[in-house]
Chain A
Amino acid sequence: MSLRVKLAIIALLAAMSAVLAYPREDQLFAAIGLKDTVMKVRQGLDLQGGAQLVFQADLNGVEAAQRSSAIQSLIAVINKRANFGGTSEIVVQQQGSDKVSVSLPGVKDVDEAISRIGKTANLTFVEINAADGTQTPTGIDGKDIDSATADYDPQKLQPVVRLKLKSGDATKRFGEMTTKLSQTGNLLLAVLDDQPTFGPARTEAINDGIAILSGNMDIAEARKIAEEITAGALPVPVTLVEQRSVGPTLGQESVSRSLVAGLIGLITVALFMIAYYRLAGVLAVLALTFYTTLTLAIYKLSGFVPGYTIVLTLAGIAGFILSIGMAVDANILTFERLKEELRAGKSFRMATETAFDRSWTSIRDSNVSTLITCVILFVTSGSTPIIRGFAVTLGLGVLISMFTAIVVTRSLMRVVIRAPWARNPKFYGLKIAQPTKAEEAQV
């Protein structure tokens, strides 16, 4: 690839990532006619505030072969319950063999969420003998319910829960049961989690699969009960074993403090590089700026790839900032080499090429060791998203910085040393005399 093509590609990439990384890129997009492009770096719970809950399922009563399907249906039910608030970024996933983790970004009332998710929500119908009060289960329970909604009784103007039974067998059995009850005059009681919730009351024969449950409740309660019934009962009981919640103020504070720290880190590293390596340092800083924007752009773009979205945590930001320090390592290695080659009397062009070639093995070998630790951290991080975040940003940083520090800086160096004025050793932090005329001629 010719240098010109390379430079063109780099310039294009730089421009694109700068647009993407710009904090208010939606305004930029709006200016060119694209509307509603909400793009931002996804923030972890410790930054935007929220809670992570881990529930352990009690699988004692479940056969070994059935366990994984029990966990799957548990996840499905928890997902329905957790998502009733309407927040879309809720993530429910399996953790280990018997745990389910629930991430609730921005949740205000953690306590309410915990009780809603952890509720067994077991609905059963019980027949009560009108004469002696004995109770017999009717065999109809939450599994027979298709959905439930909160409604108003048009006559009494009272909140009710409207149940829709699953069509077919469930509706038929419910019809037979209610027909029998209407004939015997026995009462029907609906029990939710061992609490008598509706009734006992007389019932007429219901053959259309629509049951109206009335009781002493307001519309908000009716809605909550309807949601619980629709989501269904938990297939196994669960216990909350881990909880990490962060209030929104602490998260906001962390974000702004991290931004300041990152900027200060970036600026001091840039100043040091320019002070020490002069012109080469300026090129390294250009590459570093490119690195920063490219990384931010990749963070944002990853939001479009479900499953691979990079979620930035506080430790993740630390990993990113640390990677800024490490990103210049490749530059430092090369520039030290460049100085050596220049001292040995090589021409600028030769010295540049040799410096980049020779430092490559060191750069590759040393970065691989950091990548190894990142991979191991990622794999073993298991239950702790904060560690995973760190491993991802540091590892990604190492990879991207290898590209910017080598390809970008090298291309820039090649261009710069074409200019005669740039072939002055002083501009590279070297304290030797200007190259001789003969050396100049070699270039």
Chain B
Amino acid sequence: MNIIGHRRLWYAISLLLIVPGIVSLWFWGLRLGIDFSSGQLLTVRGEATQAVVDEAAIGFGFTDIVVVPASGDQTQIRYRDPSEQKDHEANHQRFRSALEQRGLVELSFDSVGPTVSTSIAQNAILSLVLASVAIVLYIAYAFRNTPPPISSWSFGFMAVAALLHDSLLLLGIFSLLGHFWAVEIDALFVTAVLTVIGFSVHDTIVVFDRIRENLRRRKGSFEQIVNDSILETLARSLNTSFTVMLTLLALLLFGGHSIRMFVLALLIGIAAGTYSSIFNASPLLVTWYNYQQRRMARQSAVRRKHA
């Protein structure tokens, strides 16, 4: 099987999957939940319609009331209470009894103030930046003894390219989900993105590790060695992703309702991670290597001309 030979096809597939999400991110962004934008979120048992909830909320002065059916027989009601923070709890209690009169029993209630949501958002960005930097440094260190013709930094950057691919795909899909199905992202979503980053690199490193080993022990073109290495680790990549996805599918289908979107995010990210570690990260190493070779050839040709 020639994976490297078809690398342009794999890149094209990746672009096809990522571009709609990027467009959506550009125009519509992500739908931020109360963790990031502050506000109130109530989960009730029972199927609530917007009209019923709006009616229950008459007189409270709430804004941005959004009713979204959650999984199971639960409904999520999001609102924003513009009154002073000290009155929020009293308003919530009266709103809760108004809902109860309409057969909607409160299961959980979250309220996040603006100072808290700002710090959650800051922490989220900080953790994403820290994780990316730490991983590049780590890979460059772990692959410091890479034999020629490729530098350890190339491994690091290609692994980061793969993880950017995975996180962009994940963010893009959730942007689309947010626009069309009102799916909001919360603090747990950031956790999912970070976990996907970790897994993406985890998966990529196994292939890279084999490339490094084969570079030491085998003769042949760089392209050939990379292709062999991908094939030799293919069964492992697919099997590991398969077992991880089995556990995630079990969680998605049978697990708790409130983490369903979190599990979905992990599932998408891990599928993307498996694809990118096979079809993006290592082929990109070859593309990068070929580019350097051509540049060096051009430079030496120029030098010969001048000589």
Residue from B35, B115, B198 within 8 A of A56 (CB atoms): B115
Residue from A264, A332, A386 within 8 A of B240 (CB atoms): A332
Enumerate chain A residues within 8 angstroms of B195, measured Cβ to Cβ. Answer: 322, 370, 373, 390, 394
Q: How far apart sit A244 and B50, CA to CA, in the bound complex (Å)?
A: 23
Please state if A245 and B108 are interface contacts (CB–CB under 8 Å). Answer: yes
Enumerate chain A residues within 8 angstroms of B253, measured Cβ to Cβ. Answer: 261
Q: How far apart sit A314 and B255, CA to CA, in the bound complex (Å)?
A: 9
Chain A 247-277 interface mask (CB, 8 Å, partner B; 1/0)? 1011001100110111011101100110010
Q: How far apart sit A268 and B252, CA to CA, in the bound complex (Å)?
A: 14
User: Does B250 sit at the interface, judged by CB under 8 A?
Assistant: yes
For chain B residues 180-206, which have a beta carbon within 8 Å of chain A?
A: 187-188, 190-191, 194-195, 197-199, 201-203, 205-206
Please state if A262 and B194 are interface contacts (CB–CB under 8 Å). Answer: no
Please state if B138 and A114 are interface contacts (CB–CB under 8 Å). Answer: no
- Closest CB in chain A relative to B147 CB, distance in Å: 14
Chain B 85-99 interface mask (CB, 8 Å, partner A; 1/0)? 110110001000000
Chain A 271-287 interface mask (CB, 8 Å, partner B; 1/0)? 01100100000000000
Please state if B198 and A374 are interface contacts (CB–CB under 8 Å). Answer: yes
Q: How far apart sit A31 and B126, CA to CA, in the bound complex (Å)?
A: 52
Residue from B188, B205, B257, B266 within 8 A of A362 (CB atoms): B205
A18-26, A216-224, A375-383: which lies at the interface: A375-383
A136-144, A153-161, A323-331: which lies at the interface: A323-331
Chain A 382-397 interface mask (CB, 8 Å, partner B; 1/0)? 1110110011001000
- Closest CB in chain B relative to A263 CB, distance in Å: 8
Q: How far apart sit A345 and B138, CA to CA, in the bound complex (Å)?
A: 36
Enumerate chain B residues within 8 angstroms of A387, measured Cβ to Cβ. Answer: 187-188, 190-191
For chain B residues 236-271, which have a beta carbon within 8 Å of chain A?
A: 236, 239-240, 242-251, 253-259, 262-263, 266
Please state if B232 and A324 are interface contacts (CB–CB under 8 Å). Answer: no
Enumerate chain B residues within 8 angstroms of A54, measured Cβ to Cβ. Answer: 116
Please state if B236 and A336 are interface contacts (CB–CB under 8 Å). Answer: yes
B9-17, B57-65, B127-135, B282-290: which lies at the interface: B127-135
Q: Which residue of B lies closest to A321 (CB)?
A: B247
User: Does B8 sit at the interface, judged by CB under 8 A?
Assistant: no
Q: How far apart sit A354 and B138, CA to CA, in the bound complex (Å)?
A: 26
Please state if A377 and B194 are interface contacts (CB–CB under 8 Å). Answer: yes
For chain A residues 120-163, which have a beta carbon within 8 Å of chain B?
A: none
Enumerate chain A residues within 8 angstroms of B223, measured Cβ to Cβ. Answer: none
**SS class, residues of chain A in contact with chain B:** helix
Please state if A242 and B111 are interface contacts (CB–CB under 8 Å). Answer: yes
Q: How far apart sit A240 and B91, CA to CA, in the bound complex (Å)?
A: 14
User: Does B28 sit at the interface, judged by CB under 8 A?
Assistant: no
User: Does A239 sit at the interface, judged by CB under 8 A?
Assistant: yes
Given A239-B86, A247-B106, A314-B256, CB of A322 within 8 Å of CB of B142 = no
What total of chain B residues lie within 8 Å of the partner, measured CB to CB? 73
Please state if B119 and A383 are interface contacts (CB–CB under 8 Å). Answer: yes
User: Does B123 sit at the interface, judged by CB under 8 A?
Assistant: yes
- Interface centre among B134, B205, B233, by most chain A C-beta atoms within 10 angstroms, is B205
**SS class, residues of chain B in contact with chain A:** helix
For chain B residues 204-239, which have a beta carbon within 8 Å of chain A?
A: 205-206, 209-210, 213, 232-233, 235-236, 239
Enumerate chain A residues within 8 angstroms of B301, measured Cβ to Cβ. Answer: none
User: Does A73 sit at the interface, judged by CB under 8 A?
Assistant: no
Given A315-B259, A384-B120, CB of A250 within 8 Å of CB of B107 = yes
- Closest CB in chain A relative to B207 CB, distance in Å: 9
Q: Which residue of A lies closest to B117 (CB)?
A: A242
User: Does B280 sit at the interface, judged by CB under 8 A?
Assistant: no
- Interface centre among A340, A377, A381, by most chain B C-beta atoms within 10 angstroms, is A377
User: Does B164 sit at the interface, judged by CB under 8 A?
Assistant: no
Q: How far apart sit A317 and B258, CA to CA, in the bound complex (Å)?
A: 12
Q: How far apart sit A259 and B195, CA to CA, in the bound complex (Å)?
A: 22
Enumerate chain B residues within 8 angstroms of A243, measured Cβ to Cβ. Answer: 89, 109-111
Given A314-B258, A329-B240, A365-B142, CB of A376 within 8 Å of CB of B130 = yes
Enumerate chain B residues within 8 angstroms of A307, measured Cβ to Cβ. Answer: none
User: Does B113 sit at the interface, judged by CB under 8 A?
Assistant: yes
Q: How far apart sit A391 and B187, CA to CA, in the bound complex (Å)?
A: 13
Please state if B239 and A332 are interface contacts (CB–CB under 8 Å). Answer: yes
- Closest CB in chain B relative to A75 CB, distance in Å: 18
User: Does A13 sit at the interface, judged by CB under 8 A?
Assistant: no
Given A56-B115, A250-B108, A272-B246, CB of A241 within 8 Å of CB of B85 = yes
- Closest CB in chain A relative to B86 CB, distance in Å: 6
Q: How far apart sit A322 and B273, CA to CA, in the bound complex (Å)?
A: 15
Given A250-B108, A367-B202, A387-B188, CB of A322 within 8 Å of CB of B244 = yes
Please state if A390 and B191 are interface contacts (CB–CB under 8 Å). Answer: yes
Please state if A369 and B123 are interface contacts (CB–CB under 8 Å). Answer: no
Q: Which residue of B lies closest to A373 (CB)?
A: B198
Please state if B106 and A254 are interface contacts (CB–CB under 8 Å). Answer: no
Which residues does B use to contact A, with CB under 8 Å?
A: 35, 43, 85-86, 88-89, 93, 106-113, 115-116, 119-120, 123-124, 126-127, 130-131, 134-135, 138-139, 142, 187-188, 190-191, 194-195, 197-199, 201-203, 205-206, 209-210, 213, 232-233, 235-236, 239-240, 242-251, 253-259, 262-263, 266
7 contacts between A and B (CB under 8 A): A315-B188, A315-B259, A328-B240, A366-B203, A372-B131, A376-B131, A381-B123
